[in-house]
Amino acid sequence: MWIVLLAAIGLVAGLATVLGLERQYARPILIFAILGLVVGAVIGSIRVVPAGHVGVIDLFGHVSPISLKSGLNLVNPLAKVVPMSIRTQEDKEAMIVPSKEGLTVELEISALYHLNPEQAVDVYKTVGPRYQEVLFVPQLRAAARGVTGGSEAKALYTSEREALGQEILKHLKELVENRGLLVENVLLRKVLLPVTVRDAIEQKLKAEQEFERMKFVNQREEMEAERKRIEAKGVRDSQAIVSETLTPQYLNYLWIRNLAENENVIYVATEANLPIFRSVESRGAAKSP
């Protein structure tokens, strides 16, 4: 705009000189036009690339292999600078995808990605500034359909969803990263199955959970029975050991020791080596056994 305006001023000054206007008027107009043209060229050479963007220089169809960084840059005033975002972008897609069983599933998917600044020039030349709708969205849909087509509907409805999201991420990277787009993550936001299929899956999941619960209960009962068997075996072994050591002399010893612990009993030895016990009243008076 600056260049066109100043060129018009210069043309007016030249016409004024040709038409024979007085020199005192024509010369200042010409000088002003030249100065304005120089100032306009300098101003037109200054380009500002916004933060989070790189600038691609396009001079009448010739694209410079070097992109501009964010900030002030000096370029050819006749060149066009196309800003291209390198910030993280989100693309949300709602699509109908097939499952391994041939069912149709409504899927909402979200993908995070950004433009590789080192390949911004190649993306501009091969795809253009509308690379999201031209390149990324179709490849995202293709990757999602490819993964879900080889998976059962149950996997989209259960905890395996995260694994499927990672599988879609892997396929999407293979499709777009060599074209200059870096994929950060893929998230499965919402999955809608036919009502009958969803009910059947839920019933199957409940049956599987009940089976796992009963399996756990059986294992716990088996462990408890094993514990009781071990405990009974220990009691049996203990009784066997005690039975082997219970001789008449040892039993007499235990009997005497227990009686000795009673303060109301006095042990009196006899010539026949037979013990005679006499109980003692609490007041100290002796009493015959």
What is the average per-residue pLDDT within 72-101? Answer: 85
Neighbours of 240 (CB within 10 A): 9
How confident is the model at residue 103, as a pLDDT? Answer: 73
The more confident residue out of 98 and 37 is 98
How confident is the model at residue 124, as a pLDDT? Answer: 92
pLDDT confidence tier of residue 161, bands split at 50, 70 and 90:
confident
Sole residue written with tokens 């879609």: 168
Query: Hey, where are the domains in the chain?
Result: 2-85, 89-193, 248-279
CA distance 172 to 182: 10
User: Among 208, 187, 189, 205, which Cα is nearest to 197's?
Assistant: 205
Give me the phi and psi of 181, to 5 degrees please: -115, 125
CA distance 18 to 51: 49
Quick one: tokens of 129? 């500034």
pLDDT confidence tier of residue 289, bands split at 50, 70 and 90:
very low
Superfamily name with CATH number, domain 89-193: Band 7 domain (3.30.479.30)
Write the pLDDT tens digit of every residue in 174-214: 999 999 999 999 988 877 766 666 666 667 777 777 778 88
| Cα separation values, 102 from 96, 98, 99, 148, 151, Å | 12, 6, 5, 10, 10
Across 25-48, b (16+ Cβ under 10 Å) vs e yields ebeebbeebeebbeebeeebeebe
User: Among 57, 164, 63, 175, which Cα is nearest to 105's?
Assistant: 164
What is the average per-residue pLDDT within 53-74? Answer: 88
pLDDT confidence tier of residue 260, bands split at 50, 70 and 90:
low
**Residues forming a β-bridge with 278:** 266
Sole residue written with tokens 């015959």: 288
pLDDT confidence tier of residue 286, bands split at 50, 70 and 90:
very low
How confident is the model at residue 30, as a pLDDT? Answer: 62
What is the average per-residue pLDDT within 216-224? Answer: 83
**Residues forming a β-bridge with 103:** none
The more confident residue out of 157 and 177 is 177
Write the pLDDT tens digit of every residue in 233-252: 877 777 676 666 666 666 66
Distance, C-alpha 245 to centroid of its chain: 69
How confident is the model at residue 282, as a pLDDT? Answer: 47
CA distance 285 to 289: 13
Cβ proximity of 164 and 188 under 8 Å: yes
How confident is the model at residue 170, as a pLDDT? Answer: 92
How confident is the model at residue 107, as a pLDDT? Answer: 82
CA distance 132 to 85: 11
- Indicate if the pLDDT at residue 39 is higher than 70: no
How confident is the model at residue 79, as a pLDDT? Answer: 82
CA distance 91 to 140: 9
- Indicate if the pLDDT at residue 21 is higher than 80: no
**Residues forming a β-bridge with 114:** 182
How confident is the model at residue 283, as a pLDDT? Answer: 44
Q: What is the mean pLDDT of the chain?
A: 75
How confident is the model at residue 61, as a pLDDT? Answer: 85
- Indicate if the pLDDT at residue 4 is higher than 60: no
pLDDT confidence tier of residue 271, bands split at 50, 70 and 90:
low
Quick one: tokens of 230? 């071990």
